[in-house]
Amino acid sequence: MSVLFNMPLFWAGLTIGGFLLGQRVYQLTGKQPFLPPMLTGIILVITTLKLTDTSYEVYMTGGHYLHDLLGPVIVMLAVPLFQQLKAISQNAVRILLAVTLGSATTIFCAWGLAYWWIGEQTLANTLLTKSITTPVAVAIVPQLGGEASLAAGFVILTGMIGVIMIIPMLSLLKMNSPAANGITLGVCAHAIGTARALELGEQESAYAASAMTLTATLHAVVLPLLAPLVT
Amino acid sequence: MPGLLILLAFLMAGTLLQHWTSAPIPSAILGMLLLLVFLLFNRKVPPSLAQTTSTLAPLLPLLLMPVSVGIVTHEDLIRTHGITLLAILVISLIPGILVCGWIMSRGK
């Protein structure tokens, strides 16, 4: 069996299989926001790694087949951004303000808390990427002196927590217009929030998708420039 | 297929730009910004690129799984700081939600 567990193709295959299983589970459980297909897949892969006592390095000999495709897919994100520019142009100033101030507030709050409570530079800096969609977070986190795998974990968790908190909180405060719901979901819960917005309606999802891509683009450009200040 | 070639060409352009300018911004992000500028000039998405996008977009979470599995290399950290980190993620969202909601609802 050890031959199988050292085979790159086994791990690449398990990753794809885990994702497909995750999609099934997601459909069957009525699309629960705290059970994205990726999470089910990750849990399956990690459990298998533990049971077979395999290291992450060995896993990555297969995992990098998929990982290497991330570059072109990040470039691809320009397409949805371009398509949404029209939708947001009438309300541009307000949206840009919400995206800039909203995302800055949440990431610097996380950075400050991590610095104060844990006092570890790597962790605090990794948290700075928590509001950007995972592919972009993973791409810029090395520039900030953070850890890619931790960044991915924080981003996914933030998205799940955001989806649970945002709509109830905004409704409680009577700030739940489609624009406010959509923008907040996109800024605070990136792609996972955008998926939730899709269920709320067309307006919400356009706002969320624009907010997500704007946040990601802004942070991808600004955070590396700020890096000398925090590292 | 031409769509995929467009993506690779812009990724390459981004990599070259990053190499020449030594900008701290990752090459894939530069490639994305270059593609955005191209689309703004072109005024529409070439059909082949639109097709590639709709094929690849649903696969994005799958491509992110290998790096996410890397969380296994941080077991100690999660054991010591897991609860604190979870609390930080929850608390830091509150001001973000308030600011976004307030700006989007103000004066309407």
Q: What is the CB neighbour count within 10 angstroms for residue A185?
A: 33
Q: Which of A42, A74, A82 sits opposite B39 (nearest CB)?
A: A82
Which of A48, A79, A103 to mutate to probe the B interface, most B CBs <10 Å? A79
Give me B85's structure tokens: 């980190």
Residues A51 and A165 in one domain: no
Among A32, A48, A68, residue at a domain's last position: A68
Among A68, A89, A112, residue at a domain's last position: A68
pLDDT for A104: 93
Question: Do A75 and B40 lie within an 8 Å CB cutoff?
Answer: no
Distance of CA A171 to CAs A164, A181, A190, A191, B10, Å? 13, 9, 20, 21, 42
pLDDT tens, position by position, B68-93: 898 888 888 888 888 999 999 999 99
Which of A43, A45, A76 to mutate to probe the B interface, most B CBs <10 Å? A76
- Chain A CB contacts of B71 under 8 Å are 42, 46, 149-150, 152-153
Question: Do B66 and A166 lie within an 8 Å CB cutoff?
Answer: no
Gap between the Cα atoms of B10 and B27, Å rounded: 10
Residues A207 and A166 in one domain: yes
Ranges in chain A, pLDDT < 70: 1, 33, 231
The answer for residues whose C-beta is within 8 angstroms of residue A162's C-beta and 6 or more apart is A185, A188, A189, A192, A193, B93, B97
Is B96's Cβ below 8 Å from some Cβ in A?
A: yes
Instruction: Give the model's confidence band at B108: pLDDT under 50 very low, under 70 low, under 90 confident, else very high.
Output: low
How many domains in chain A? Answer: 2
Asked if B100 and A97 touch (Cβ cutoff 8 Å), the reply is no
Among A68, A86, A115, residue at a domain's last position: A68
The answer for residues whose C-beta is within 8 angstroms of residue A39's C-beta and 6 or more apart is A22, A156, A160
> Which position has the higher pLDDT, B28 or B10?
B10
pLDDT tens, position by position, A143-200: 898 988 899 889 988 988 898 899 999 999 999 898 999 999 999 998 888 878 877 8
Domain span at residue A27 reads 2-68
A31: left (phi over 0), alpha (psi -120 to 50) or beta: left
pLDDT for B107: 64
pLDDT for B101: 92
Residues A134 and A160 in one domain: yes
Q: Which of A42, A170, A225 sits opposite B97 (nearest CB)?
A: A170
Question: Do B71 and A170 lie within an 8 Å CB cutoff?
Answer: no
Say if residue A222 is exposed, middle or buried (CB neighbours under 10 Å; 0-12, 13-18, 19+): middle
What is the arithmetic mean of pLDDT over B22-49? 89
Distance of CA B76 to CAs A61, A155, B71, Å? 24, 20, 10
Gap between the Cα atoms of A134 and A73, Å rounded: 12
Nearest CA in chain A to B57: A73
Residues A53 and A121 in one domain: no
Question: Do A80 and B7 lie within an 8 Å CB cutoff?
Answer: no
Gap between the Cα atoms of A123 and B85, Å rounded: 9
Residues A201 and A96 in one domain: yes
pLDDT for A33: 67
Helices (H), chain B: 2-21, 27-42, 47-56, 60-69, 75-105
Residues A103 and A212 in one domain: yes
Asked if B42 and B92 touch (Cβ cutoff 8 Å), the reply is no
Residues A46 and A83 in one domain: no
pLDDT for B103: 92
Which of A9, A26, A75, A219 to mutate to probe the B interface, most B CBs <10 Å? A75
- Chain A CB contacts of B94 under 8 Å are 165, 169
Residues A101 and A51 in one domain: no
Q: Which of B39, B65, B97 sits opposite A42 (nearest CB)?
A: B65
Q: Which of B45, B74, B97 sits opposite A149 (nearest CB)?
A: B74
Distance of CA A38 to CAs A27, A60, A153, A227, B29, Å? 13, 17, 11, 30, 23
Total residues found in chain B within this entry: 108
Residues A167 and A96 in one domain: yes
Residues A13 and A123 in one domain: no
Gap between the Cα atoms of A193 and A97, Å rounded: 19
Maximum separation of any 2 CA atoms in chain B, in Å: 52
Residues A16 and A43 in one domain: yes
pLDDT for B51: 93
Residues A176 and A209 in one domain: yes
Give me A26's structure tokens: 């997601």
3 state DSSP class of A195: helix
Instruction: Give the model's confidence band at B49: pLDDT under 50 very low, under 70 low, under 90 confident, else very high.
Output: very high
Residue B1 has pLDDT above 80, yes or no: no
Is B41's Cβ below 8 Å from some Cβ in A?
A: no
pLDDT for A66: 93
Structure letter (DSSP) for residue B57: G
pLDDT for A92: 87
* A-to-B residue pairs, Cβ atoms closer than 8 angstroms: 265
